[in-house]
Homo-oligomer: A and B are copies of this chain.
Amino acid sequence: MPYVNIKITREGATGEQKAQLIKGVTDLLEQVLGKNPKTTVVVIEEVDTDNWGIAGESVTLLRQRE
């Protein structure tokens, strides 16, 4: 019954990678806490780099300097 929300910047995660995240988190909750995978919900949200801030500035700016 756990609910997991994963927020990442929108920078090209593929369907395959997202499927791996869903599988990996569901497995982890079963292994660590014995949670039934049947009712584990995982929601991935991809956020534009303009809308994600770290250390007081957007990831858009951060990426430009890299």
Q: Which residues of A contact B (CB under 8 A)?
A: 1-9, 13, 15, 17-29, 31-33, 35, 37-47, 50-61
Contact = CB atoms under 8 A, between A and B. Distances in A.
B5 A5 contact: yes
Contact of A24 (B32, B35, B38, B42): B32
A5 B35 CA distance: 16
Counting from the closest, the 10 A-B pairs by CB-CB distance are A22-B53, A42-B53, A26-B56, A44-B51, A24-B28, A5-B5, A3-B7, A20-B32, A2-B8, A15-B50
Contact of A33 (B8, B47, B56): B8
Contacts of A22: 53, 56-58
